[in-house]
Amino acid sequence: MQSAPTIDLNADLGESYGNWRIGDDAGMLSVVTSANIACGFHAGDPLTLARACALAAERGVTIGAQVGYNHLPGFGRWRIDMPTPELTADVIYQIGALDGLARVAGTRVAYVKPHGALYNTAAVDERQAQAVVDAVAAYDSSLPILGLPDSVLLRCAEAAGLRTIREAFADRAYRRTGRLVARHKPGAFITDDDAVAARVVRLVREGVVTTRTGREVAIEADSVCLHSDTPGAVDKAYAVRTALENAGVVLAPVVPPPALG
């Protein structure tokens, strides 16, 4: 008898800064199994991050460090051609900061995911990908790295002996190469809740998504990202989770939430 498919649901959280409110962390933490929590460089003030870690720990959600370029005005979405030593040091700094807050909450960082422009750059740029991998390996070589399937980042991580987690996106349009349609392009986001839920079920059960041009592309994923900063994000997340459960998919974090000890 074939076992039921299992998938992790993740979201980017902890992105508010002072009076600048981004997303609904509490609402999303009722849906997801893993939380990519900002580390203060692209978003997130210390109190916001501490509260996100505490709430994730309380709800049994695994915490990942979402590391990015040190650029709050651009929300980490502007590519920066950083020298390798500086980028590696920045990533180590961010992991350590969030790990400290997570430990105070009774848990710890369990994986690392680049954010925004760093995520997209490390997917194709070997030098920056290696800088991220070197940082993770130096901080804790047991930490997996989450990224796009068959990306330069995951290939570098595998070569360094790190565990990798393949990620797909619930509401982002795909190109036939398996890469995402750029945010500024028409049709980059799928806004209909039912359509998003149906494509995630198909992705998990069949391993395929339909591209913006109507072609099918194979995508192997261990985790699906639910955006938390788009209109109606929590409702869309609930629609995805409900559809997966109704389809017999088991929802579980790809890395179980670690406890201190």
* Per-residue pLDDT, 184: 83
Q: Would you put residue 165 in left (φ > 0), alpha (ψ -120 to 50) or beta?
A: beta
pLDDT surpasses 90 at 200: yes
Total structural domains in the chain? 1
Burial of 24 (0-12, 13-18, 19+ CB in 10 A): middle
Quick check: is 260 in a domain?
A: no
| Residue 141 within any structural domain of the chain | yes
DSSP assignments along 102-156, one per residue: HHHTTB---EEEE-HHHHHHHTT-HHHHHHHHHHHHHH-TT--EEE-TT-HHHHH
Say whether pLDDT at 84 is over 90.
yes
Mean pLDDT over each residue of the chain, to the nearest integer? 94
| CATH number of the domain encompassing residue 14 | 3.20.20.370
Task: Say if residues 143 and 91 touch (Cβ distance below 8 Å).
Answer: no
Q: Is residue 1 part of a domain?
A: no
Instruction: Determine what percent of the chain is predicted with pLDDT higher than 90.
Output: 84
**20 in any annotated domain:** yes
The model's pLDDT over 112-167, given as tens digits with 9 standing for 90+, comes to: 999 999 999 999 999 999 999 999 999 999 999 999 999 999 999 999 999 999 99
Is the pLDDT higher at 229 or at 204?
204
- pLDDT, residue 252, reads 97
Using pLDDT thresholds of 50, 70 and 90, give the confidence band for residue 2. Answer: low
Q: In percent, how much of the chain has pLDDT > 70?
A: 99
Query: Across residues 92-105, what is the average pLDDT?
Result: 98
Categorize the per-residue pLDDT at 188 as very low, low, confident or very high, splitting at 50, 70 and 90: confident
Residue 260 pLDDT more than 80?
Answer: no
pLDDT digit string, tens, across residues 19-63 = 999 989 999 999 999 999 999 999 999 999 999 999 999 999 999
In a domain, 159, yes or no: yes
Alpha carbons 258 and 261: distance in angstroms, whole number: 9
Any domain includes 259: no
**CA geometry: angle at 142 spanning 167 and 98, to 5°?**
75
Domain extent at residue 209: 6-251
